Amino acid sequence: MKLRIGSAAWVGACALALGAGCADTRGKESSGAYVDDDSITSTVKARMVEDKAVDAAAITVETANGNVVLSGVARSSLEKNTAESIAMKVRGVKAVQNNVAVRP
């Protein structure tokens, strides 16, 4: 009797494990995609810090699937455009959405 219960439990555990491995992954990023997005974000921020025309602390950078979103506040249109240009030049960037507001 114990052997039957143990065997049934083992078969059930295997079925669950195999079922989890076959889960739907459409629309979900792989761990490699997360690493690439983090790398893009870090590179964009680092290049903004290097560029004296951009206040990197005032601009937020977010990346998803290679698409970069810039937000925050810039002192001028030149700073806003420079931030976008910096982001576009980073390897792996597909598109940049520039939501940076220019201070009046």
Tell me the per-residue pLDDT of 42-83, one tens digit each, with 9 for 90 and over. 999 999 999 999 999 999 999 999 999 999 999 999 999 999
Q: Are 71 and 51 in contact (CB under 8 A)?
A: no
Paired tokens of 90: 């980073």
What is the per-residue pLDDT for 78?
A: 97
Sequence-distant (≥ 6) Cβ neighbours of residue 101 within 8 angstroms: 72, 73, 74
**Residue 71 pairs with which residues in a beta bridge?**
60, 99
CA distance 37 to 61: 11
Kindly report the CATH class assigned to 27-102: alpha beta
Q: Report yes or no on whether pTM surpasses 0.75.
A: no
